Structure 1
Amino acid sequence: MKMKLGVILLLFISTLNIQATPTEASSLGYQNNAIKSTVLNTTGESSFIGTNDARVKWIFETDEAGAGIEMSSPIVGAEGSVYVISGGGDRQLYSVNSDGTKEWSKPLSFNGDANYLFPVLNSTGNLYIKTTNAYEFRLDGLKRAVSDLGTPYWGSLAVGNDGTSYLGGSGVVHGLDADLKEKWTYTDYSDNKTPVLGHDGMLYVLAGSGQQEQLTALDANGKLKWAYKLAHDVSNSIPVVANDGTIYVTVRGAIYAIDPAGKLKWKKELPNTVGNSVPSVDEDGVVYFAYDNQLMALNSDGTEKWKFASKYAINTNQISRTVIDKDGVAYFTAGDQGNGILYAVSDKGTKKWHMDLAGVAGNTPAINADGTIYVSTSRGKLYAIGAPDKQEKVLKGILPSSQAMALKKGEKGILKAAAVFDNLSRENVTGLSSWESSDSSVVSISDKGVLKAGKEGVASVKVKYKGFEKTVIVTVKGMLVDSSDPFYGKEQASLDGQTAEALNYLNEMRRNLGLVEFRHDEKLRKAAQSHSNYKLLNGDGFLGAHDQEADGLGFTGYGPTERANYFGYVGSVD
């Protein structure tokens, strides 16, 4: 007798949905084309001006701060929160308030150094983090979606404006929809890197096998457009796309400039260490990258503009990048785990200032709207650099964490609100603001900014604070798995048939062994199906195979007995 087995593939990419980057008028000091902090999917430019005051405003320490606690580069949300990943024995995602206090932290699962991890913000304010998994977190730190493709833990995702995300590693490039369902795959060489998006929607991926290295260009459907063969080994770097469409690639021993058609514009031979430097490019086409202890700026034609010598090596064994502010000042880190420096270098290649910070080598700085510079270290510390906030500040407006959101029926979301002051600093005033929905049957909102989607439709959510107000458009469409109806949206007849077939198969074996036969219990079946749904939504990162966490999607009980009781079964389940 053959039995049909429904194999559930628990794809565990965690997409961390941290709505943090809305489009907003520059009068409030925020622009959507500002640097995205991880900067791996942007040019490395910021529309903000960094501080000229090299003082420490505050220092945040992780729960296990100390030597060996590597951290990712920080990322700044529109509401002023700073997000950073810790490594070592800590391995958490932290949300840090603009005053340096911890808002929340959530554990992450990965083996390796956090300084190889890069969070990414998309245009609707979602934060994606790739480890061996990929996570999507809400602003309150709850996971929203999970999927697993078994890719190397380091690197990042590229995220398009339509919500499509792109993931590389282990020889396969994946295109995923907004719900982390796989749209397409493209098989490349055994070792491919973090993909990046061009302005025209083209996807660029560095790939290599040890014998063949190339830059691959794919369209939005994962179809190969062209591939440029590289004469140097691919290292840890990631391409960058300039405003004119030129793709700049650093590899072991050279930097390449390749046009959008896949033709070489120019190439410059350099030391091998340049392969660890992610290039940046400003609006004039000047390219910035590092090797050994040198930060180099090249004009768009490949000629040298200037070169700056650091006290310490800029590239060690991790990926680093330079951030360029609105005035053309370059910010970068150099050193090792024992000694480190944060530099500010003018657009002429001269030093403006520097700050000694132990263990900052390879960490990419982030610039906030008020000029504050955030930089993390290999000792579990996050520094805020800049002039201390003045005591008297004038409120200039309020900024929600997202201008538009999309939810599914039954899904919860979160909005934050920040007060924006005349010095461009921000304070989280979510709990001090008033929230109102235009149609609570479509979406309701609590006084803490927690959204709950109802029926399908569109509603506006208004947030008010001290005479200022903003509106967020919320669209509800589709259905989230309903924990009260585990079979919602599934083919009931097919499931009934498979259940009966499985039960008959098991009982046939039990009869042959002289054992008492199993009998069907619909309440236990619902409990089992709900747990299957939970695993599909959250993956195995939540406690393991048999347990659930209360903040997981579709939660029906911590253990088997609680889940069975939830659906009306009386008794325990061992």
Structure 2
Amino acid sequence: MLTTFFSAEVSRDRNIQITEEWEVKNDNQKNNDELINNLSKDSYENICMTSVNEGNTTNDSKEMSLNNKGKPSLSSIGTGGLADSPWPMFRQNLNHTGLSPYDTSSNPGKLKWSFTTVGEVRSSPAIDYDGTIYITSGNNKLYAINQNGSEKWSFITGGAIWSSPALGSDGEIYIGSWDNKLYAINSDGTQKWSFSTGGGIVSSPALGSDGTIYIGSWDNKLYAINSDGTQKWNFSTDGGVRSSPAIGSDGTIYIGSRDGKLYAINPDGSVKWKYIAIGYVNSSPAIGSDGTIYVGSSDVDPTFHAINPDGTNKWSFNTGSGVFSSPAVGFDGTIYFGTHPCMYAINQNGTEKWNFTTGNTIHSSPAIGFDGTIYIGSQDDKVYAINPDGSQKWNFTTEGPIVTSSPAIGSDGTIYIGSDDGKLYAIG
């Protein structure tokens, strides 16, 4: 039997990037170069990955499908201190690409179930390794929901919760609240600790590889919090921070502020550079495979920006309407984001590929299935499934506007999204 060691990241040109040591055995016992090169455009090969240490003993294993499009492992685009789960945080991963490693092509767009929270659901779901879905609500609660739509438990804070949960590799759930606090919650729904900031928190947390939790606050600051709930450092901007942090491969933290700037912050809390966008940067940044940072701005500067890793402008695309939506970056580098009243697909050089019009403003952020289908919510009450060519695959109608909740994709291809009607929907 032929075995090799490589990470599960296979680029679109079929090159294998070695980022982790994995012992890979495919079903047909082929050499991996032969395996990848012989795959047709849309074919798949099941593989079993086993993590091994220097003593050649097994640490962990997982089964995934591999194809020549370059399906990433959950770790290949950066999970850091995150849970190794289908959708552990806002935008799925630390780079905020919105990419799922799971195929959604068989999702028919039908209701599986809905869960009522009473308050508006403006956060985006997180999905744990066991299928538990975590969602927050305007009724001050975090909910843990079983795969069948029943409630597992709930946790109440002192304010409405628009912040999306992040799941730690240690089983903890992290959320921010309008009561000015960041919470760490155990997997059984009990509180581990809370950390107070000087303003409400609508930003969603990101977890660094060392377990540091990064989150923004309306007190104009980005906070770095140790895993025990103590402050590591904070960084002050000149405006409220609604944006959620993305983390680059070198540990740089990228976050926007309502002072009209995107900041690049070193892991020690010092500023690396700041990019002036003029308008509010409510959008959360995404990081492309080449290190380009993508973010939208609003109000006086309704523009979508591509920023080089050194903080200089790569290109800008004028939308004519403010961008609150956070971008997703497809396998081929296409950038997707919403505005009023459409979703744009932008080529890597900044030219428009296509746009898809909905019946109202889009503040929701796109999610992309491994098959290339793009999912996004709109304030016209609908969730849209859009083909890579910009045509509609299907739409699903909720009972209220989808203001800011963004889709999350489960391991079976189910789409989860919240609505201002107070419900979490499972669509599949």
TM above 0.5: yes
Alignment partner, residue 197 of structure 1: 207
Q: 3-state SS of the aligned residue for 1:321?
A: coil
The answer to whether the 8 A contact 1:342-1:360 is kept is no
Alignment partner, residue 59 of structure 1: none
Q: Please, which runs of 5 or more residues in structure 1 have no aligned partner?
A: 1-21, 49-76, 82-96, 389-415, 419-425, 429-540, 542-574
1:333 aligns with 2:385: no
1:200-247 CA-partner distances (Å, limit 9, x unpaired): 2110121244xxx321111111111111222x1114211111111101
Alignment partner, residue 375 of structure 2: 374
Give the superposition deviation at 1:121.
Answer: 2.5
Counterparts of 2:130 and 2:252 in 1: how far apart (Å)? 26
The answer to whether the 8 A contact 2:176-2:205 is kept is yes
Alignment partner, residue 154 of structure 1: 162
How high is the TM-score relative to the length of structure 1? 0.51
Counterparts of 1:427 and 1:298 in 2: how far apart (Å)? 33
Alignment partner, residue 167 of structure 1: 175
1:106 aligns with 2:101: no
1:392-450 CA-partner distances (Å, limit 9, x unpaired): xxxxxxxxxxxxxxxxxxxxxxxx995xxxxxxx699xxxxxxxxxxxxxxxxxxxxxx
Q: 3-state SS of the aligned residue for 2:66?
A: helix
The answer to whether the 8 A contact 1:23-1:31 is kept is no
Q: 3-state SS of the aligned residue for 1:273?
A: coil
Alignment partner, residue 320 of structure 1: 325
Give the superposition deviation at 1:279.
Answer: 1.1
Report matched runs for 1:33-112 at 5 Å: 33=75, 36=87, 38-39=90-91, 42-45=94-97, 78=102, 80=104, 98-111=107-120
Call closer, same or farther: CA 1:240–1:124 in 2, change over 3 Å: farther
Counterparts of 2:144 and 2:305 in 1: how far apart (Å)? 36
Give the superposition deviation at 1:146.
Answer: 1.4
Alignment partner, residue 307 of structure 2: 298
The answer to whether the 8 A contact 1:110-1:153 is kept is no
The answer to whether the 8 A contact 1:155-1:194 is kept is yes
Amino acid at match of 2:242: N
Alignment partner, residue 74 of structure 2: 32
Give the superposition deviation at 1:348.
Answer: 1.0
The answer to whether the 8 A contact 2:185-2:191 is kept is yes
Counterparts of 2:388 and 2:264 in 1: how far apart (Å)? 39
1:165-215 CA-partner distances (Å, limit 9, x unpaired): 112222222211111211122222132343221222110121244xxx321
Alignment partner, residue 349 of structure 2: 348
Call closer, same or farther: CA 1:128–1:23 in 2, change over 3 Å: farther
The answer to whether the 8 A contact 2:126-2:134 is kept is yes
Give the superposition deviation at 1:101.
Answer: 1.5
Give the superposition deviation at 1:125.
Answer: 3.8
Call closer, same or farther: CA 1:109–1:299 in 2, change over 3 Å: same
Deviates more, 1:290-299 or 1:118-127: 118-127
1:98-131 CA-partner distances (Å, limit 9, x unpaired): 11121111212214xx4x3221234554321011
Q: Which has the larger radius of gyration?
A: 1
Counterparts of 1:30 and 1:135 in 2: how far apart (Å)? 29
Alignment partner, residue 197 of structure 2: 188
Counterparts of 1:207 and 1:375 in 2: how far apart (Å)? 26
Amino acid at match of 1:257: A
Q: 3-state SS of the aligned residue for 2:115?
A: strand
Counterparts of 1:329 and 1:201 in 2: how far apart (Å)? 31
Alignment partner, residue 561 of structure 1: none
Give the superposition deviation at 1:79.
Answer: 7.5
Alignment partner, residue 251 of structure 2: 245
Call closer, same or farther: CA 1:46–1:119 in 2, change over 3 Å: closer
Counterparts of 2:210 and 2:296 in 1: how far apart (Å)? 28
* Equivalent residue for 2:126, pick from 120, 129, 134: 120
Q: Please, which runs of 5 or more residues in structure 2 have no aligned partner?
A: 1-60, 78-85, 390-409, 416-421, 423-428
Counterparts of 2:361 and 2:103 in 1: how far apart (Å)? 25
Greater share of helix residues, 1 or 2? Answer: 1
* Count of matched residue pairs: 315
The answer to whether the 8 A contact 1:46-1:326 is kept is no
* Equivalent residue for 1:263, pick from 242, 256, 270: 270
Call closer, same or farther: CA 1:235–1:216 in 2, change over 3 Å: closer
The answer to whether the 8 A contact 1:321-1:364 is kept is yes
1:322-376 CA-partner distances (Å, limit 9, x unpaired): 00112211001111xxxx1111111111111122222242121111121111122
1:133 aligns with 2:141: yes
1:449-481 CA-partner distances (Å, limit 9, x unpaired): xxxxxxxxxxxxxxxxxxxxxxxxxxxxxxxxx
Alignment partner, residue 392 of structure 2: none
Counterparts of 1:295 and 1:346 in 2: how far apart (Å)? 12
Call closer, same or farther: CA 1:47–1:40 in 2, change over 3 Å: closer
Give the superposition deviation at 1:284.
Answer: 2.5
Q: 3-state SS of the aligned residue for 1:191?
A: coil
1:229 aligns with 2:236: yes
Amino acid at match of 1:216: Y
Give the superposition deviation at 1:153.
Answer: 2.8
Q: What's the Cα RMSD here?
A: 2.9
The answer to whether the 8 A contact 2:163-2:175 is kept is no
Report matched runs for 1:274-293 at 5 Å: 274=281, 276-292=282-298, 293=302
Identical pairs, percent: 29
Deviates more, 1:291-300 or 1:356-365: 356-365
Counterparts of 2:114 and 2:336 in 1: how far apart (Å)? 28
Q: 3-state SS of the aligned residue for 1:161?
A: coil
Q: 3-state SS of the aligned residue for 1:354?
A: strand
Amino acid at match of 1:218: I
Call closer, same or farther: CA 1:417–1:348 in 2, change over 3 Å: closer
Counterparts of 2:62 and 2:352 in 1: how far apart (Å)? 33
Report matched runs for 1:346-425 at 5 Å: 346-386=347-387
Counterparts of 1:303 and 1:289 in 2: how far apart (Å)? 13
